[in-house]
């Protein structure tokens, strides 16, 4: 069974540039999560979907971050006008249930904003 895949694996930007991250969850997993993990810190949930619906995006900085999952499968997380404080690894995970079920994480995208 293929795991969660993410691309790109690395991104380097200047402040003010935009970037998109892509995630393909495990087939059959209806719940998809996006996390931000700053260096030497734990992951912080940004947003999660069940199928195409956003369940919780309360931690997503809505002025510059957006996330979609239009067909309930793949998802894209976009940062408009990146800031140095956005430097982190962005992890995608999927599960068959909700936050109390086992999540399977992708390898992450490492973002460096100069």
Q: Segment contacting another protein (CB under 8 A): 11-19, 60-68, 78-86, 102-110?
A: 102-110
Task: Check residue 108 for interaction with another protein (CB under 8 A).
Answer: yes
42, burial (CB in 10 Å: exposed 0-12, middle 13-18, buried 19+): exposed
| CA-based nearest residue to 71, from 24, 13, 36, 6 | 24
How far, CA to CA in Å, does 54 sit from each of 17, 71, 88? Answer: 25, 12, 23
Binding pattern for the stretch 49-68 against another protein, x by CB under 8 A and - elsewhere: ------xx------------
C-beta of 5: minimal distance to another protein in Å?
11
Query: Could you list the residues that contact another protein (CB under 8 A)?
Result: 4, 40-45, 55-56, 91, 98-100, 102-108
């Amino acid at each position: 069974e293929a795991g969660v895949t993410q691309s790109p694996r690395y991104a380097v930007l200047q402040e003010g540039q935009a970037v998109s991250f892509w995630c393909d969850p495990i087939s059959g997993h209806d719940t998809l999560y996006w996390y931000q993990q700053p260096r030497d810190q734990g992951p912080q949930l940004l947003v999660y979907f069940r199928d195409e619906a956003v369940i919780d995006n309360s931690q997503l900085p809505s002025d510059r971050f957006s996330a979609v999952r239009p067909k309930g499968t793949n998802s894209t997380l976009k940062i408009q006008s990146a800031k140095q404080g956005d430097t982190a690894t962005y992890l995608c995970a999927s599960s068959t249930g909700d936050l109390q079920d086992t999540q399977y994480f992708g390898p992450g995208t490492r973002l460096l904003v100069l």
